[in-house]
Chain A
Amino acid sequence: MMQPKNSLLDLSAIRARLENARGEEYWRSLDEVAQTAEFQAFVDNEFTPGTSEWKNPLGRRDLLKLLGASIAFAGLTACTKQPPEKIVPYVRAPEDMIPGKPMYFATAMTLGGYAAGVLVESHMGRPTKIEGNPEHPASLGATDAFAQASILTLYDPDRSQVVLRNGLISNWAAFLAEVGLLREGLLAKEGAGMRILTETVTSPTLAQQLKDLLAEFPEARWHQYEPAARDSAVGGAKLAFGEPVNTIHRIGQADVILSLDADFLASGPGSVRYAREFAARRREGGDRMNRLYIVEAAPSSTGSIADHRLPLRASDVEPFAWAVAAALGVAVPAPGSPAPSGWVEAVAADLKKHAGSSLVIAGDQQPVAVHALAHAINAALGNAGKTVVYTEPVEAAPVEQGESMRQLAEDMRAGRVETLVIIGGNPVYNAPADCEFRQGLLKVKRRIRLGLYDDETSGLCHWHLAETHYLEGWGDARAFDGTVTIQQPLIAPLYGGKSAHEVLAVLSGKGELAGHDIIKEYWRGRLGEAGFEKTWKTALHDGLIAGTAVAPKNVSVRKDFAAALPAPKGQEGMELCLRPDPTIWDGRFANNGWLQELPKPLTKLTWDNTVLISPATAERLGVANGQVLELRRAGRTVRGAAWILPGHAENSATVHLGYGRTRGGKIAEGPGFSAYPLRTSDAPWGGGGLAVSKTGATYKLACTQDHHSMEGRDLVREATVDEYRKDPHFAQHVVHGPVKELSLYKEFKYEGHSWGMAVDLNACTGCNACVVACQAENNIPVVGKTEVARGREMQWIRIDRYFKGGLDDPEVCHQPMMCHHCDHAPCEVVCPTGATNHSSEGLNQMVYNRCVGTRYCSNNCPYKVRRFNFFLYSDWDTKSLEPMRNPDVTVRSRGVMEKCTYCVQRINSARIESEKEGRRIRDGEVVTACQAVCPTQAIVFGDMNDPNSRVAKLKKDPLNYGILDELNTKPRTTYLARLRNPNPELKKG
């Protein structure tokens, strides 16, 4: 009960300070006090499950270790022999596989049905790392965090590994037999009572299979449902154009962008590509620099890089859209805008000024009306065909899935469903609460489920079939622009799973067909015999089938669309705002340790979801971080811990979906709370009438950044475009660094290569892809919630997030922070064993096997980018994880320090190749994992001795600055200062 008091004092103190502060004032942490209390609590109960002690209990291994230790103390370690090792060569060597050299295969990962092309690195037939596919329109060589982490899901030991019948282990043959009987019954009554439930389907093959099946069983029905479906996009298009169309944005063409609660840079189909195009326009600085307005409730990655961000309750976005539309002469009534005076006008004016090169984007979580209005505004501005393009739908059957699910549930409850086949998804967990899916499901006589995990849904099904991971089975899928990718397996199903295609083949009586044949036959039919084999091979090689993008089509906004719009209903009291989680999405990644431990872009919380509220609201409710709130809406309640997020809209509480899983993996079960009970089919993304009450309980949260202010230190340097024009070198003038060569010693010369990195703060959206990419590339372990809370997270890249400016509407900056490889490295000087020192190419190299673990280097690192194995964090026991590890990187053991190596394994292989060819390493030949994955290309790595390398050029850029270089550490990683392009009309008050 001390906490709220403290934090309230804190808040009001901050207010006081901000009021009499002139200009940009940096403010302090919200919850140091709470934090200390919390940390105390953590260290008090060390042995709670999830801590590493729990992970390696005192067992055989530990005793052996103790034994080893005691022997060591006897001074004999040097004499201990390695255990004999076996070499196991092939019996028949596979084609063109060279042991010790990785191979790359193109395939695609789908999220919400939409494909993102990837290249998968494979060592001796073991996929180990995901890279983007440069050929693929949705990737352009980058990926998001989900794709990076999907490799861990592939090897996840918790994935379901057997066929289950009524929860007991059965087998595939038994299922085939069952299906035989089933089909007889169905054929008799033309499939009546048969339902198939899938997630969003873009796969042409799967669509065809479903079509055939429905043709065979006319009475059967196909439903689609997934929580993060784009219903309002579909509905909005229907409203505006009378037909569902697919909307593609040409972000690169847009000078002015208005985002209506759309996190288009970080989530949704095409976001990776959008981010790339957006950043390209930012980077140019000068006149070509674009401008982004965003109105949203909870700060998002997109919001954090916007030039103007207006915190509005999600429900107030619609009135705002009305107002903008009206101001731009769209024939709609103009209700009072919730925005501060001048906002709508300024935005409208700016959009008008750039008619044809402006863009309005509606968020997937906004109601249909907002989408319709967005279409109308874009039409009015003449953006259609320029910055926004409409095409045939990419989805095989674009339906409003909420409705589809509602009907299914209704039929089930009414007993009209006899057989339900659930392909993927997890409806029992994530169907809207009012559908009472569970109760309905129990009325169904025959329930068949194909899923990656034995989860909540499988628990209630008669049959559970293990599904193949996308890296295990054949398939196909479309990207946001319709481009088709053939998904090819990298490895035979680890747990003998089956793909949706194979299961559907069985259902439609074709018996056991191999996924490969199903896909290939479909496309043979589609593309025709002529030269098919060649096309097929190229398709597999390139990772896409050329010319399969859906055709653009001309649509015009219906005159009377405004009339059809449901009137915006004003929200009374507090509003609930549901969103997919930034790291585990709708819950499908809940068992992925990398994503669970990934700090959320804005809150830096790990392992949990929270009730996000604004400081003012917190003050009004008298809650502090970690206090458990009870949320009640439409007669349903959930309990979750509060987290105060500056910049959140007032009277609104944002809750991320996907947590509170009760079944489906050791990691998934436990963390957070499920917000699905608050989800209704009429208000899938929440709505008004939310009652919030304190429970008095508090909940431990693991946050990786306790302090949110820069304390007036010039860490992130930024300026507006105008200031930049006046003084391009502003970033270098902030701090008076040391005089060049301020050293008693002669500087080392780095002939040959001299590696360096530049990070463009102007492009970083804090999307976290680099963090996971690094984790995958460098075998970085997961440590668990308790260890994170004790400040022991292991990710080599830490994306620092700072707030500045007002408490209610702060500006947000992201700053990726990894080892700076200082030429005057403070860490090296203090290492007693020389385990960390400088290479002749300027790398700050870390020799794990020489490290005795004094932690002195970390203490002396001004950037605190070193990570220490306080316990045996790397999982040496789980067999299934072994093939996942990068064979070129040591798996660290207990008691050693580790840190970013600039992906030295990649540098070495490039050096060896170049030396064999007797040449220098070319620019771009060494690409670090973080650089490769970055959607906005914010990270550039290369040889600073090569004057033509990108990095060398960037180092000469006026925006380039080294952080803390007044300490004369001579960091090799430097930053490009951030530029903002605010609208002069909208000076912050």
Chain B
Amino acid sequence: MERRRLYGVIAQFESPGDLLAAAQRAYAEGYRKMDAYTPMPIHGLAEAIGFRRNYLPLLVLIGGLFGCGAAYLMLWSIETIIYPLNVGGKPFNSWPAFIPITFETTVLFAALAAVFGMLALNGLPMPYHPVFNVPSFALASNDRFFLCIEAKDPKFDYEATRKFLESQHSREVSDVEL
């Protein structure tokens, strides 16, 4: 039978433990292009499927520094260059008075970086994804755990991969169509 255009093969597990074990073995088997889907974060799972670098903290740092610099620069220039005013005999550059705003802006930009950075890196919003085509995948947001090995994977072989997944105490294994 000729291949329908396939995204990958997905296995459903009942407990995080089983999934984690399966993921580790799959990685050991040499599978690289795979992803696991769970209703809640499971520690070590991402590493298990070969996730290494997380750039988010760096983004947040940059965001924070930008906010900090921008805010103070703005205040300083307003009060000393753009329109200096004698306010209650205070010096033009009353840096102590500028700290609160600088701080708040720092936090604001860092937080924005964190959230939008996370969404961007995760490629969200993404209304459509092949895995949604699997009927039982709705349970991924409830009490089931999924491991999907993608067709893109060089080591991917429909029959072999399917067999492999079935061998991992999975509850069911189904195809993910594009």
Chain A positions near chain B (C-beta within 8 angstroms): 743, 745-748, 822-829, 831, 834, 837-840, 970
Contacts and interface: CB of A to CB of B under 8 A. Distances in A.
Contacts of A826: 88
A840 B89 contact: no
Nearest to B97: A829
Contacts of B91: 745-746
Nearest to A837: B85
23 contacts: A745-B89, A745-B90, A745-B91, A746-B91, A747-B89, A748-B86, A748-B89, A823-B89, A824-B88, A825-B88, A828-B87, A829-B87, A829-B90, A831-B87, A834-B85, A834-B87, A837-B85, A837-B86, A838-B86, A838-B87, A838-B88, A838-B89, A840-B86
A825 B85 CA distance: 13
Q: Which of A823, A824, A829 has the most CB of B within 10 A?
A: A829
A242 to B, nearest CB: 69
Q: Which of B86, B87, B89, B90 has the most CB of A within 10 A?
A: B89
A614 to B, nearest CB: 46
Contacts of A839: 86
Interface of B: 85-91
A745 to B, nearest CB: 5
Nearest to A844: B88
Nearest to A839: B86
B130 to A, nearest CB: 45
A828 to B, nearest CB: 4
Contact of B88 (A746, A828, A840): A828
Contacts of B85: 834, 837-838
A356 to B, nearest CB: 55
Contact of B89 (A827, A831, A834, A970): A970
B86 to A, nearest CB: 4
A733 to B, nearest CB: 26
Contacts, number: 35
Given A822-B88, A825-B88, A829-B90, 4 more contacts: A748-B89, A823-B89, A829-B87, A837-B85
B86 A829 contact: no
Contacts of B90: 745, 829
A828 B90 CA distance: 10
A825 B90 CA distance: 10
A233 B83 CA distance: 66
Contacts of A822: 88
A316 B89 CA distance: 58
In terms of DSSP, what is the predominant structure of the interface of chain A?
A: loop
A714 B90 CA distance: 28
A748 B87 CA distance: 10
Contacts of A748: 86, 89
Contacts of A824: 88-89
A826 B85 CA distance: 15
Nearest to A746: B91
Nearest to B85: A837
A826 B90 CA distance: 11
Contacts of A827: 88
Contact of B87 (A743, A837, A970): A837
B107 to A, nearest CB: 21
Contacts of A747: 89
A747 B89 CA distance: 7
A743 B94 CA distance: 13
A683 B157 CA distance: 125
Contacts of A828: 87-88
A827 B86 CA distance: 12
A837 B83 CA distance: 12
A822 B89 CA distance: 9
A838 B88 CA distance: 7
B38 to A, nearest CB: 45
Return the 9 tightest CB-CB contacts between A and B, nearest first.
A838-B86, A829-B88, A828-B88, A824-B89, A837-B85, A828-B87, A825-B88, A745-B91, A837-B87
Nearest to A745: B91
A649 B86 CA distance: 53
A827 B88 CA distance: 8
B100 to A, nearest CB: 13
Contacts of A745: 89-91
A346 B103 CA distance: 74
A844 to B, nearest CB: 9
A745 B96 CA distance: 12
B92 to A, nearest CB: 10
B95 to A, nearest CB: 11
Nearest to A747: B89
Contacts of B89: 743, 745, 747-748, 823-825, 838, 970
Contacts of B88: 822, 824-829, 838
Nearest to B96: A744
A827 B87 CA distance: 9
Contacts of A834: 85, 87
Contacts of A970: 89
A840 B86 CA distance: 8
A531 to B, nearest CB: 59
Contacts of A840: 86
A971 to B, nearest CB: 12
Contacts of B87: 828-829, 831, 834, 837-838
B174 to A, nearest CB: 54
A840 B90 CA distance: 14
A590 B91 CA distance: 51
A831 B91 CA distance: 16
B117 to A, nearest CB: 30
B11 to A, nearest CB: 55
B40 to A, nearest CB: 43
A825 B86 CA distance: 10
A834 B97 CA distance: 14
Contacts of A837: 85-87
A870 to B, nearest CB: 25
Nearest to A830: B88
B74 to A, nearest CB: 15
B10 to A, nearest CB: 50
A839 B87 CA distance: 9
Contacts of A831: 87
A822 B88 CA distance: 8
B84 to A, nearest CB: 10
Nearest to A828: B88
B91 to A, nearest CB: 5
A211 to B, nearest CB: 67
A73 to B, nearest CB: 24
A366 to B, nearest CB: 54
A828 B87 CA distance: 5
A970 B87 CA distance: 14
A625 B118 CA distance: 70
Q: Which of B85, B88, B89 has the most CB of A within 10 A?
A: B88
Nearest to A970: B89
A829 B79 CA distance: 13
B82 to A, nearest CB: 12
A290 to B, nearest CB: 42
A837 B88 CA distance: 7
Nearest to B94: A745
B169 to A, nearest CB: 61
A822 B87 CA distance: 11
Nearest to B89: A824
Contacts of B86: 748, 837-840
A67 B97 CA distance: 38
A962 to B, nearest CB: 15
A970 B88 CA distance: 10
A539 to B, nearest CB: 50
A828 B88 CA distance: 5
Nearest to A842: B86
A122 to B, nearest CB: 37
A824 B87 CA distance: 8
A169 B91 CA distance: 68
A747 B86 CA distance: 10
A899 to B, nearest CB: 15
A632 B87 CA distance: 60
A660 B88 CA distance: 48
A197 B86 CA distance: 63
